[in-house]
Amino acid sequence: MIEMNFVKPGKGNALYKCKLRNLVRGTVIDRTYKGGDSLESADVEEIDVQFLYRQADTFVFMDDSTYEQYELPSATISDTWKFLKEGMGCSMMLYNGNPLTMTPPNHVQLLITQCEPGAKGDTATNVTKPALVETGAEITVPGFIKEGNLIKVDTRTGEYVERVSN
């Protein structure tokens, strides 16, 4: 359920206007339910997994408790691949035992592998520059960040949070 609005007309039953997302297809549908209606819950479970490796357009994860492996296509992963490091713990949603989505931790520490040196005198203003991190993603960082620095990145927004002391 993405969105739910409660409507109480002047006479008659209360209504719930809902926007629902189909977890398998990704489509969004609008539904209206009466006050006494009930719905069957989906067989959805969330498990802790570990990112193992990327193989072409497929990402492979392993369940921490059963050691079972799950594969997700790159279309499902979307832009979160930028923050995945081998061995990183993630959360995965399963529907009837099949993987649907993967969520990385909210903050990850990544190593800067390539960036332009900061210009002298650019310390007073909020100067930013692009930097390449160990996963191959490009992240905008402040001007004082150098190659070899370890930074903390918010995976929800893809933004730089802070420099981590080595």
Residue 39 lies in a domain: no
Considering the entire predicted model, what is its pTM?
A: 0.71
Range of the domain at 113: 107-164
Task: For residue 7, give both structure tokens.
Answer: 């409507």
The residue ranking higher by pLDDT, 111 or 117, is: 111
- Say yes or no: 112 and 97 in one domain: no
Domain assignment present for 98: yes
120 within domain boundaries: yes
* Among 145, 86, 79, residue whose Cα is nearest residue 114: 145
- Quick: pLDDT tens for 26-76: 789 998 888 888 888 777 888 999 999 988 889 899 998 898 999 988 888
Give the number of domains in the chain.
3
Cβ partners under 8 Å of residue 108, min gap 6:
83, 85, 88, 152, 153, 155
The vertex-89 CA angle with 67 and 75, nearest 5°, equals 90
- Same domain, yes or no, for 88 and 48? yes
Same domain, 158 and 144: yes
Examine residue 52 and state whether it is found in any structural domain, yes or no: yes
What CATH number does the domain containing 22 carry? 2.30.30.30
**Region 127-149: what's the mean pLDDT?**
86
Q: Judge if 111 and 98 occupy the same domain.
A: no
Q: What digits encode the pLDDT tens for the residues 70-103?
A: 998 888 887 888 888 888 899 998 888 888 888 8
Output the CA–CA distances (angstroms, integers) from residue 48 to 45, 51, 67, 90, 145, in the order listed. 10, 10, 11, 6, 33
